[in-house]
Structure formats: structure tokens, C-alpha cells
Amino acid sequence: EAGVVQSPRYKIIEKKQPVAFWCNPISGHNTLYWYLQNLGQGPELLIRYENEEAVDDSQLPKDRFSAERLKGVDSTLKIQPAELGDSAVYLCASSLSWTGRNEQFFGPGTRLTVL
């Protein structure tokens, strides 16, 4: 069974440019998470989806970040415009559901460098 797929794996852009990250969760997983991991830090939750609904986006900087999961399967995270401080690894994870402490499975991440 395929794991969580993310693309691209690496992205280098100049500041003020837009960027988008794509995630395809494990088949059948209803819950999808986007995490931000700064260098030398643990991941921090940005947004959680239950099917196509964003049920926890309290940590998402909504002035420049947006996300969507239109059909309740794959998801896109966008930054527009990117700032130098956005350089980090963006992780996607999925789980069967948000109840019962279901195990989260993580993708390899997208490493973003903003110049």
C-alpha cells in the first residue's frame, strides 16, 4: 500500500512569489493534516481536514496561507506571497479518523527555501 505522497520534494523560490504543495493521503484516510517543521524543531499543526472540511485551522496564517481539499482526498497548501521566514519543511499526514487516537502517517515532506 502506498504511503502519503507529497510533491514536490524540494522547492526554491524568491520571496514574494507564490508556491503550492500537494499531498495525496493514504487511501481511505478521512483525516488529513498539514504540519510546518522549522529547522531543529518539531512539527507544528497548521490545519486539519475531516473529509473536505477544515475543522482546525487556528494555526494557519490566513493572510498568506490557504489550503483546500475539494473532494476529500488530496490536498493543496498554498503560500502567496512567500516570505523569507517561510523556509521550512511542510509535512502532510493522514489518519483513518480523528477519533480514537488513530495513528498519523506522515509523508516525506516538501522542503521550501525562500531566497
Chain residues in the site for another protein (CB under 8 A): 3-4, 31, 40-45, 48, 55-56, 91, 93, 95, 98-99, 101-109
Kindly tell me which of 74 and 81 has the beta carbon lying closer to another protein. 74
CA–CA distance, 32 with 29 (Å, rounded to integer): 7
- Say if residues 114 and 14 touch (Cβ distance below 8 Å): yes
What is the residue whose three cell numbers read 510533491?
Answer: 7
Kindly tell me which of 81 and 108 has the beta carbon lying closer to another protein. 108
Least separation in angstroms between residue 55's CB and another protein is 7
Kindly tell me which of 56 and 73 has the beta carbon lying closer to another protein. 56
What is the residue whose three cell numbers read 497548501?
Answer: 77
Least separation in angstroms between residue 87's CB and another protein is 18
Helix, strand or coil, per DSSP, at residue 33: strand
DSSP label at 17?
-
